[in-house]
Structure 1
Amino acid sequence: MSQHSFFVRALWFVCIGWWLTPIVVNLAWALNVTVILAPIGIKLTNLVPTVLTLQESRSFTEPDLARGQHSLLARALYFVFVGWWLSFLWANLAVIFAITIIGLPVAVWLVNRLPFVTSLYRFHG
């Protein structure tokens, strides 16, 4: 799957991404707090860069990139002790930056790193 053009991604952000991303982030965090629904919450968190700007992860199309991931055990332990609360703060900081035009580049940078902050998942965007 190839990336969408800059124009399409910018149009998506202006019309949908800026308001849908905070909803997805906070829904994912609420799911992450529960033990049973945490896997769905983590999946939603990993989709946040796509929700914000339609950025697709290259690890879906380039299997070699997926090999650099941390082990599932390491990611799970990190999530339990750090990722669930740090990702909430990180994502909402990104939302605050996204409100302003000046802060938008910082917001996109923060959102693109949200999967890693949450569960050490390398998005490879």
Structure 2
Amino acid sequence: MKRGLSTHVLDTAAGLPARDVRIELYRLHEEKGAVLASSGLTDSDGRVKGALLAGDDLHPGRYEIRFYIGEYFRNASHTRFMPTIWEVIPVRFAVEEDGGHYHIPLLASPGSYTTYRGS
């Protein structure tokens, strides 16, 4: 079983992986607020190479992934005439397993999005 945190972004308007989506992962602390833990850019398969956090770095707590999808849709030729209302899609989640595997995919179009815990 893989360990760590991964993500995947799919453009449901095009039916394709979303390339060059900027992603930031924050660890949420009561005292310090949101602390940047990792960042990356999706590749041609809509994935960030490797894990956003390796298994040994993924500890129980609260996290937030920020998907900068507005930049992606503004630059995509197939959505030129479908302006997006999304700028940044924040997804907050809790990690309960120390060193477990979490996969948080995003399916997005200019007018909607959904996410789930993948495998």
TM-score, normalised via structure 2 length: 0.28
Could you say which structure has the higher strand fraction? 2
More helix by share: 1
